[in-house]
Amino acid sequence: MSSIPPFAATPASSCCGSESRAEPSRFGDWRSGAGGANPAAKSIRETLQMTRIAFIGLGNMGGGMAANQAKAGHDVAAFDLSPAALERAAEAGCRTVASVAEAVKDAEVVITMLPAGPHVLSVYSEQIIGVAPASALLLDCSTIDVETARKVAGLAKEAGYAFADAPVSGGTAAADAGTLAFMVGCDEADFARVEPALDPMSRITIRAGDHGAGQAAKICNNMLLGISMVGTCEAIALAEKLGLEPERFFEIASKSSGQCWSVSNYYPWAGPVPTAPSNRDYEGGFATAMMLKDLKLAQDAAAKAGATTPLGAQAEALYALFNGLGYGGKDFSAMVQMLRGRLDTLAQ
Q: In degrees to the nearest 10, what's the CA dihedral of 38, 40, 43, 47?
A: -130
What are the C-alpha distances in Å from 334 to residues 214, 287, 331, 348?
A: 28, 9, 6, 11
Interatomic CA distance for residues 334 and 51, integer angstroms: 41
Interatomic CA distance for residues 104 and 343, integer angstroms: 45
User: Closest Cα partner for 137 from 118, 157, 123, 154?
Assistant: 157
Write b or e for each residue in 54-82: b if 16 or more Cβ atoms lie within 10 A of its Cβ, otherwise e.
Answer: bbbbbbbbbbbbbbbbbebebbbbbbbeb
Interatomic CA distance for residues 262 and 87, integer angstroms: 34
3-state secondary structure of 4: coil
Write b or e for each residue in 219-248: b if 16 or more Cβ atoms lie within 10 A of its Cβ, otherwise e.
Answer: bbbbbbbbbbbbbbbebbbebbeeeeebee
Q: Quote the DSSP letter at residue 83.
A: H
Residue 220 CA to its chain's centroid (Å): 13
Contact in structure between 112 and 142 (CB atoms under 8 Å)? yes
Interatomic CA distance for residues 155 and 132, integer angstroms: 13
User: Closest Cα partner for 128 from 156, 89, 86?
Assistant: 156
Among 42, 71, 218, 330, the one annotated catalytic: 218
Contact in structure between 192 and 29 (CB atoms under 8 Å)? no
> DSSP for 11-23?
GGG------SPPP
**Is-catalytic flag, 218?**
yes
User: Closest Cα partner for 55 from 170, 200, 184?
Assistant: 200
Contact in structure between 138 and 164 (CB atoms under 8 Å)? yes
Active site residue ranges: 218
